[in-house]
Structure 1
Amino acid sequence: MSGTVPEITCEELKKMMMDNKVLIIDVRSPGELEKGTIVGSINIPVNSVEEKLTLDPDKFQEQFGIEKPKETSSLVFHCQKGLRGACAVKIAQTLGYTSVQNLAGGFQQWTGKE
């Protein structure tokens, strides 16, 4: 898994959220969600990303309550600091997703906690 991973800043993500043009996927473990979440995000732990993104649309809808993203949908992955989010971006890219980004600095950056 070499090469650069496309990243997005918190400010860019906030703008995309205002335009309702993005699906945010939190790849942290369920236990980490106790630290907070980004409103509107769904949780798919990084070790489940491939499995969940290859579900048939009905099963995805059933599990997450939203339509399964298309390969051209804008997806932003994030973890706590950015490493697992970058891994998730690479996984999505191998599955054919073309508009995927990692949140630079992860949830830690989002909440402003260094």
Structure 2
Amino acid sequence: MKFGAYTPDDESHSRCFVTSTYEFYFKNGYGASVTRGMNSYGGKEGLWELAVLKYRKEVWGYWDICYDTPITNDVIGGLDVAGVEKLLKRIEALPEAKSRKRFRVKRPRLGLNRRD
């Protein structure tokens, strides 16, 4: 399935949930998951749902839903093919994604090297 000029990098289909999912990955570290099925927003009407994805560098090959882009802070449902293509173009034009910071837990020192 193509969405205008965009061909998916990955796709999956579920007969059980009558769902089709197409994923797009861009060089800027963002991507999109485009889904249509019984449980997607607009799926019963034959429309598509889009979620913005972000590549997680600390977990190689893992893409996660991103809720903090200028495009949306949630998924966008009720899209036709032209609407999906428009959003894919905007996602591809986003500035390069920065990796999430990994938080290190500071552990208390045990005092082994302490001079009293």
TM-score interval, smaller chain: under 0.3
Q: What's the TM-score once normalised by structure 1's chain length? A: 0.27
Higher relative contact order (CA 8 A, sep 6+): 1
TM-score by length of 2: 0.27
Structure with greater Cα Rg: 2
